[in-house]
């Protein structure tokens, strides 16, 4: 039997694996309909990690001893109880080891006294101390046996059924995931029929913002999916490591035989955890992770393309505002200039007066025409870039979006098949007894 540190690690690892990762949603027309990608919520539906007592019976039904019906135990509370019993066992084993040391010292002292031929009174006193320590040790061993029995009872009657429920929930969840991803693949395959319109729509600021949000969401999806799979593996590894130590018997070094409760050589949880661990390690996790990561890179590239287009559009807008401002300034100047000429009576010598004036007007008009030419060039470049962005975006989505959902559908199928297999092999003790009966 192990110290409580092993189960504490199991407890911490399980809490990590159940930490909420948040839903994944997409706000744009490119949405991948990832609302159901909230893996942690769906996977751990059978494990209530909040410590609320909303499902517990009323206080009047608890009785004077406040004993909670084990039907209301959650996965978390079962681990908490086992951790408490492991701590108790740790303290008992530690105290027992110290007592064995004291006992051995007294036995050695008794042998020395016998060899030296000490007084009978001193010898009897030492014998009494040895006998007292031996009796205490027997009682402590019996207490340890009771603690071990309770831990094993919780393991077989509480933890194992919770793990079976978890396997069942996982099988159902991955079955649902497979259906969703398969449906998404069929729907998104229709994108191959899309074509870029002759005059493509430009990328607005809102469109660009939503594409950036989609990129961030897919990045979060990749990170949380990685955490999900690693925490599942970590939890099962921790349970396996704990179980290996849990199955080690506590042995006494004393010559007297101390009875220990009969141990089940292979409790049902052992085969379940071993098979669970082996099949988790064989899952093609990289298939799904690579698909999500590749799609993240695709969206990141689309963001860069749209960023360049938006930058050019903003430059066109700035040039357009500059042109409007120069036109307004010219019209205002020309009006005031004409009025001033009229008031000064320059009609007396029109040729001398108009020559410099016309040059001044032409200079201002030429400056406006240069801005107009620059604006037309920028608008033409923006239109060409907008079309290129649409074409590249559509080409990337045609190639990578169906691949994403096909790989996710395949991975979901592998997971569903794995948990369905575990569910078939995992038989609850009560059901197994009925079958044998």
Residue pair 238/286 in contact by the 8 Å Cβ criterion: no
Query: What is the overall mean pLDDT for the chain?
Result: 77
Cα 356 to Cα 362: distance, rounded to the nearest angstrom: 10
Tokens of 29: 């027309």
Least confident of 46-50, 61-65, 247-251, 308-312: 46-50
Residue 71: the pLDDT is 65
pLDDT above 60 (res 51): no
Separation CA 286–CA 18 (nearest Å): 21
Nearest alpha-carbon partner for 418 in 290, 267, 272, 291: 272
- Give the CA-trace dihedral at 276, 280, 281, 286, to 10 degrees: 180
Distance CA 263, CA 283 (A): 33
For tokens 């205002």, what's the residue? 332
pLDDT digits (tens, 9 = 90+) for 372-426: 888 888 888 888 888 888 888 888 888 889 999 999 999 999 999 999 999 988 7
| 299 pLDDT tier (thresholds 50, 70, 90) | very high
Q: For the chain, what are the domain ranges?
A: 4-52+74-296+403-436
- Residues 399 and 157: beta-carbon distance below 8 Å: no
Nearest to 231 by CA among 17, 417, 397, 11: 17
To which H or E segment does residue 431 belong? helix 429-436
Better-predicted residue by pLDDT, 8 or 435: 8
**36-38-43-46 Cα dihedral, nearest 10 degrees:** -100
Q: Is the pLDDT of residue 15 over 70?
A: no
Host H or E run for residue 106: helix 75-116
Residues 6 or more apart in contact with residue 269 via CB below 8 angstroms: 155, 156, 159, 160, 163, 243
pLDDT tens-digit series, residues 81-122: 999 999 999 998 888 888 888 888 888 888 888 888 878 888
CB neighbour list of residue 282: distance below 8 Å, 6 or more residues apart: none
The answer to whether the beta carbons of residues 421 and 283 sit under 8 Å apart is no
Q: How confident is the model at residue 19 (pLDDT cuts 50, 70, 90)?
A: very low
- 154-200 residue pLDDT tens: 999 999 999 999 999 999 999 999 999 999 999 888 777 777 676 67
| Coil, strand or helix at 80 | helix
Instruction: Calculate the alpha carbon distances from 307 to 17, 215, 281, 324, 396 in Å.
Output: 37, 13, 41, 26, 17
Place of tokens 């009609």: 347
Give 243's Cβ-side CA count (13 Å radius). Answer: 23
Q: How far is CA 205 from CA 81, 211, 278, 352, 394, in A?
A: 55, 10, 49, 54, 19
On the question of pLDDT at 55 being above 70, the answer is no
Q: What is the rounded distance in angstroms from the CA atom of residue 411 to the CA atom of residue 106? A: 65
- Cα–Cα nearest to 403, from 221, 224, 223, 181: 181
């Amino acid at each position: 039997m192990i110290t409580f540190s092993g189960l504490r690690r199991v407890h911490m690892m399980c809490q990590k694996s159940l930490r909420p990762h948040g839903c994944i949603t997409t706000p744009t027309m490119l949405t991948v309909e990832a609302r159901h990608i909230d893996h942690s919520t769906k996977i751990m539906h059978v494990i209530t990690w909040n410590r609320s007592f909303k499902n517990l019976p009323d206080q009047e039904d608890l009785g004077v001893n406040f004993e909670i019906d084990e039907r209301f135990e959650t996965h978390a509370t079962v681990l908490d109880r086992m951790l408490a019993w492991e701590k108790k066992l740790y303290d008992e084993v530690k105290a027992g080891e110290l007592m064995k040391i004291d006992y051995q010292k007294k036995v050695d002292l008794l042998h020395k006294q016998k060899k030296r031929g000490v007084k009978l009174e001193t010898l009897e006193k030492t014998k009494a101390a040895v006998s007292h320590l031996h009796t205490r040790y027997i009682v402590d061993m019996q207490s340890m046996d009771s603690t071990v029995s309770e831990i094993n009872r919780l393991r077989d009657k509480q933890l194992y059924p919770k793990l079976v429920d978890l396997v069942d929930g996982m099988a159902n969840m991955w079955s649902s995931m497979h259906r969703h991803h398969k449906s998404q693949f069929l729907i998104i395959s229709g994108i191959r029929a899309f074509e870029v319109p002759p005059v493509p729509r430009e990328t607005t600021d809102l469109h660009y913002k939503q594409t950036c949000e989609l990129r961030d969401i897919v990045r979060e999806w990749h990170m949380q999916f990685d955490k999900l799979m690693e925490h599942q593996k970590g939890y099962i590894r921790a349970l396996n490591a704990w179980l290996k130590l849990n199955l080690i018997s506590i042995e006494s070094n004393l010559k007297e035989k101390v009875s220990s409760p009969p141990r089940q050589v292979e409790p049902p949880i052992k085969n379940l955890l071993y098979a669970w661990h082996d099949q988790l390690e064989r899952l093609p996790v990289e298939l799904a992770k690579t698909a999500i990561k590749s799609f993240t890179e695709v969206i990141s590239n689309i963001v860069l393309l749209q960023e360049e287009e938006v930058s050019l559009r903003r430059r066109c807008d700035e040039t357009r505002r500059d042109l409007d401002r120069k036109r307004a300034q010219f019209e205002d100047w020309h009006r005031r200039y004409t009025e001033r000429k009229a008031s000064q009576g320059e009609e007396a010598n029109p040729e001398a007066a108009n020559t410099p004036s016309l040059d001044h007007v032409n200079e201002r008009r030429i400056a406006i025409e240069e801005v107009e030419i620059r604006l037309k060039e920028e608008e033409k470049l923006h239109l060409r870039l907008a079309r290129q962005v649409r074409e590249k975006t559509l080409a990337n989505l045609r190639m990578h979006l169906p691949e994403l959902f096909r790989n996710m559908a395949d991975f979901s199928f592998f997971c569903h098949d794995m948990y369905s297999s575990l569910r078939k092999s995992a038989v609850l003790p009560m059901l197994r007894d009925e079958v044998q009966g």
